[in-house]
Chain A
Amino acid sequence: MSHVDDGTLHAYLDGELEAVQPGASAALEAHIAACGECRARLEDERRIRDRASAILGHAEPAGLEVPPFDAVLQRARGNVGGDAAPGSRPRRSFTLPLAWAASIVLALAGGWWAREMALAPESAADRAEAYHAVTGTDPETTLAPAVAQARSAGSAAPQADASAKPSAARQAGPEAAQEPGLAAEAMRTQVQDDATPPSTPPRRAIAGREMRREAPAGVSAFAPRSAADSSRPVVPEAAVSALTVRSEALLLAPVVPGGGAVQWSAVDRAEAERRLGGRLLLVEELEVESIELADSGGVPLVRTRQAVAPGVTLVLLQHTTPRAVPGELVADTVRAALQAPRERTEKAEPAPAELVVERNGFRVRLSANLPQDSLRALAARLR
């Protein structure tokens, strides 16, 4: 027998040689007994094999626990939207994603319409027509309970309970009338909370682990406050969780009708802060690409772009909180926030993630083509 090749030695060391070549093990052992060179090579290859295993052992996932099989079964059942057992070869439902999409459109349009009702009840007929155009349904019939809550939210509204998961429209509470955006904001939060579409399996919660839920904290941040609290920021400085997480699908919602285009002009930071009447909120660690100012009804809007990474821009839209801003301006602000990032990312990526945070008497809308938790991390660094 000629000298043994490395592959045969490794197959022998792995206990697989018989499977590869029946009868080869005995021949190899006989050869090794007689050949000092191959015996030495066998030991060399054994050391390499053991060393490679040890190296790979450094990359073991730490603290690996096996979740119960039932949890995976449950997840599989959820995957097909039924109670199928293994072996039944269930087929994925195509109607389920469509149902989700329909419910999201309905809820988003509802949020928009409810906010408009609170913003300008006198123009309800116009809004209802627009709602009908989007959803094909009558808002009075499909949204009556939620809108009634938003409309009647006043002194009798109960304090929101952060531990529960109540209707977002109810969460808007007594400030809905003063802060027109809140009812819609809260509804968006509800949409985000409920709309975890089944079509994104790789990001589902790991069975046996607790899924991180952001919406309850976000909703609680918009809980009703007493008049005595009105001077404080709606969102505490440190409460990163108190952010309204907006569904990206909202970008498909209709823009508010009736508003004119916002004209932007480049300014420096000092001018922006002078016009805002306060500090421009930025992520100080990031390079500022541009600062632009727009004037709408005498109230300044500042749009800042910061470079996060090559090709990734954080867009910040800062203005005073809606309490101090005329209603139409809020509408302009929403439209401007939607338009700003879309100009750059429409072709390259899906709609960017967005967050809204209120701080120091300002509302800042953050938008970037990043994962939601990265955006949240950036929001936490807003100074």
Chain B
Amino acid sequence: MSIDWSEVYRATYRDLVRFLHRKVWDAERAQDLAQETFVRALDQQPENPRAWLFTVAANLARDEARSVVRRRKHLALLRTEREAEPAVVAPSADEALERSERLEAVRRSLDALSERDRDVLLLWDAGLSYAEIAEQTGLALGAIGTTLARARRRLVEAYATLEEKHVARG
């Protein structure tokens, strides 16, 4: 079967980046990994491109997580460096801060989920069908809805808790 890879790319790239972004929490890195995933796909020519792409992307993100300590040190250094620089984008600073805080709250809320629940939720949010999620995660097709129900509820609760704490701090 001949696969139109440019069409797969067009239809999947954004979803893949969104999926990866919520795993590595770095937009540029997510795009880099998404492209690396497509590069590997072009090399391997899988028969089921979409499921294959998300499987490989998840593996790349997992490898990425292994170096998370090293990266955090790196980011901490860069953050220190940025703080030392004059604020040349002062008008949007509040907006950037707000976005950054929201992003951190989402990250922490997702951390409150089990790895399996998180994967299923992110795969669904990236646009995969229940059947594709089941194929990728090894869960039974009938278990996907239950997993999603649990994952969504925990995400909402964890996020609400963080919001309450934020409000309490003022």
- Give CA–CA (A48, B151) in the complex, Å: 10
Interface string of A87-105 (1 = CB under 8 A from B): 1011010000000000000
The answer to whether A308 and B145 touch across the interface, beta carbons within 8 angstroms, is: no
Q: With contacts A16-B130, A206-B32 known, is A55 near B14, CB below 8 A?
A: no
Given the complex, which residues of A lie within 8 Å of B141, measured CB to CB?
19-20
The answer to whether A59 and B144 touch across the interface, beta carbons within 8 angstroms, is: no
8 A Cβ contacts from A368-383 to B: 370-371, 373-374, 377-378, 380-381
Number of interface residues of B (CB under 8 A): 68
- Give CA–CA (A86, B39) in the complex, Å: 10
- Give CA–CA (A71, B155) in the complex, Å: 37
Interface residue? A75 (CB, 8 A): yes
- Give CA–CA (A8, B146) in the complex, Å: 7
Interface residue? A156 (CB, 8 A): no
8 A Cβ contacts from B103-149 to A: 103, 105-107, 109, 121-122, 124-125, 129-131, 141-149
Interface residue? B33 (CB, 8 A): yes
Interface residue? B165 (CB, 8 A): no
The answer to whether A87 and B2 touch across the interface, beta carbons within 8 angstroms, is: yes
Given the complex, which residues of A lie within 8 Å of B124, measured CB to CB?
14
The answer to whether B102 and A66 touch across the interface, beta carbons within 8 angstroms, is: no
Interface string of A139-183 (1 = CB under 8 A from B): 000000000000000000000000000000000000000000000
Q: With contacts A64-B31, A69-B10, A373-B74 known, is A58 near B42, CB below 8 A?
A: no
Given the complex, which residues of B lie within 8 Å of A75, measured CB to CB?
35, 39
Q: Which of A52, A60, A62 has the most CB of B within 10 A?
A: A52
- Min C-beta distance of B68 to chain A, whole Å: 13
Interface residue? A297 (CB, 8 A): no
- Min C-beta distance of B49 to chain A, whole Å: 11
Contact of A374 among B14, B77, B84, B122 (CB under 8 A): B77
The answer to whether A206 and B152 touch across the interface, beta carbons within 8 angstroms, is: no
- Give CA–CA (A382, B146) in the complex, Å: 56
Given the complex, which residues of B lie within 8 Å of A16, measured CB to CB?
129-130, 144-145
Given the complex, which residues of B lie within 8 Å of A60, measured CB to CB?
18, 21
- Give CA–CA (A92, B40) in the complex, Å: 11
Interface residue? A23 (CB, 8 A): no
The answer to whether A206 and B35 touch across the interface, beta carbons within 8 angstroms, is: yes
Q: With contacts A86-B45, A378-B77 known, is A9 near B149, CB below 8 A?
A: yes
8 A Cβ contacts from A1-31 to B: 5-11, 14, 16-17, 19-21
The answer to whether B36 and A59 touch across the interface, beta carbons within 8 angstroms, is: no
Given the complex, which residues of A lie within 8 Å of B93, measured CB to CB?
none
Contact of A14 among B14, B21, B109, B130 (CB under 8 A): B130
Interface string of B60-82 (1 = CB under 8 A from A): 10011000001001100110110
- Give CA–CA (A285, B76) in the complex, Å: 13
Given the complex, which residues of B lie within 8 Å of A255, measured CB to CB?
none
Contact of B74 among A19, A207, A374 (CB under 8 A): A374
The answer to whether B129 and A56 touch across the interface, beta carbons within 8 angstroms, is: no
A-B pairs, top 8 by smallest CB distance, nearest first, are A7-B146, A11-B145, A7-B145, A61-B27, A52-B152, A6-B149, A76-B42, A59-B106
Q: A56-B155, A79-B43, A370-B74 are in contact. List 8 more A-B contacts (CB 8 A).
A: A8-B145, A16-B145, A19-B141, A48-B156, A69-B5, A202-B33, A202-B64, A308-B77
B-side residues, CB < 8 A to A, are: 2-3, 5-6, 9-10, 13-14, 17-18, 21-22, 25, 27-28, 30-33, 35-36, 38-39, 42-45, 60, 63-64, 70, 73-74, 77-78, 80-81, 84, 99, 102-103, 105-107, 109, 121-122, 124-125, 129-131, 141-153, 155-156, 159
Q: List 27 A-B contacts (CB under 8 A).
A: A7-B149, A10-B152, A14-B148, A20-B144, A20-B145, A55-B109, A56-B121, A58-B102, A59-B22, A59-B25, A61-B17, A69-B6, A69-B9, A73-B42, A79-B39, A80-B43, A86-B45, A89-B44, A89-B45, A92-B43, A202-B60, A203-B32, A206-B32, A370-B70, A377-B77, A378-B77, A381-B81
A-side residues, CB < 8 A to B, are: 5-11, 14, 16-17, 19-21, 45, 48-49, 51-53, 55-56, 58-64, 66-67, 69, 72-73, 75-76, 79-80, 86-87, 89-90, 92, 201-204, 206-207, 285, 308-309, 312, 370-371, 373-374, 377-378, 380-381
